[in-house]
Amino acid sequence: MKIFLSGELVDEKDAVVSVFDHGLLYGDGVFEGIRAYNGRVFLLDEHIDRLYDSAKAIALNIPMTKEGMSQAVVDTCKANDIVDGYIRLVVTRGKGTLGLNPYLCDTAEIIIIAARIQLYPQELYDNGLKIVTVGTIRNHPEAINPRIKSLNYLNNVMAKIEAINAGCMECLMLNHKGEVAEASGDNVFAVKNRVITTPPSTCGALEGLTRNKVMELARAAGYEVREASLARYDLYVADEVFLTGTAAEIISVVDIDKRAIGTGKPGSVTADLALIYAECANSEGTPIQ
């Protein structure tokens, strides 16, 4: 496997960073997870824009233009013969000292990995997920703004640990007000009377690009789509609940906290949106070859 590191493609065994890199020491950096479908990088411009916005928000200077970064993503995919795959784009603060001061760090480090991923087994897409609400709440939006996709994912990792310990692969996270925020790595949607609702970023949810694309496609398909705060009650009594994410795509939730959602099986709206999304993802994007 070829990894993009420090401006060049290197073998995986040679892709190393300093133990003094602040991305390792403090989770100081930003990242994007990107998908490639049918020989195209999906939503590449949107991912690059969000990466640079996240970096600006944490005062991290990326030593590469957006155009150069996009080309580096495409080149890394090409070097690894990616047709359908997953790209992890990471920008760390770079090599620094053992102190917190980010201004003592060298140039930011850019890492691009292009490989393959399947987040959930196919049977869960066919039958739906069972999830639980965890005690770990989402970071306060004024502590770490949820629109910043930072390397510090400990909040999400702790929630994931609770989910796994409860026998589930995913969970529901609430915010400091007790409102629905998101899953440990995906956005949450509820469907009631064919109206689709998802929490806004002010509730602690990442403004996911898959989330935004699904909302756009749903509206184009004639569905009413809202951004509004949700309580667990709203999910319990929903006709359907589904999650969206770059890696997860669209997956149905059929049970939350031992409450069957709707019929207890994946619903028709979720299935419709999954089909529309797949058609879009496989026909749009930046060509790799």
Across residues 75-94, what is the average pLDDT? 98
Distance CA(274)–CA(214), nearest Å, equals 9
- Residue 149 designated active-site: yes
Give the active site residue among 2, 95, 130, 149. 149
Please tell me whether residues 206 and 92 are part of one structural domain. no
Amino acid found at 2: K
Please tell me whether residues 140 and 38 are part of one structural domain. no
Please tell me whether residues 272 and 219 are part of one structural domain. yes
Please tell me whether residues 240 and 202 are part of one structural domain. yes
Q: In which residue are the tokens 């970096």 written?
A: 55
pTM over 0.75: yes
Distance CA(127)–CA(141), nearest Å, equals 34
Name the nearest CA neighbour of 92 among 49, 141, 54: 54
The pLDDT tens digits for 198-226 are 999 999 999 999 999 999 999 999 999 99
Of 71, 86, 115, the domain-final residue: 115
Instruction: Identify whether the C-beta of residue 200 lies closer than 8 Å to the C-beta of residue 177.
Output: no
Please tell me whether residues 146 and 268 are part of one structural domain. yes
Please tell me whether residues 53 and 150 are part of one structural domain. no
Helix (H, G, I), strand (E, B) or coil at 48: helix
Q: Could you give the number of structural domains in the chain?
A: 2
Please tell me whether residues 17 and 152 are part of one structural domain. no
Using the predicted structure, report yes or no on whether residue 168 has a pLDDT greater than 90. Answer: yes
Q: What is the mean pLDDT of the chain?
A: 97
Q: Is residue 267 included in any domain, yes or no?
A: yes
Distance CA(140)–CA(143), nearest Å, equals 5
Q: Is residue 286 included in any domain, yes or no?
A: no
Of 76, 98, 115, the domain-final residue: 115
- 10 contact partners, CB below 8 Å, separation of at least 6: 2, 3
Residue 8 sits in a domain whose CATH number is 3.30.470.10
Of 115, 141, 170, the domain-final residue: 115
Across residues 128-154, what is the average pLDDT? 96
The pLDDT tens digits for 238-272 are 999 999 999 999 999 999 999 999 999 999 999 99
Q: Is residue 287 included in any domain, yes or no?
A: no
Please tell me whether residues 184 and 230 are part of one structural domain. yes
Q: What is the pLDDT of residue 118?
A: 78
Q: Domain of 137? A: 122-281
Largest interatomic CA distance in the chain:
57
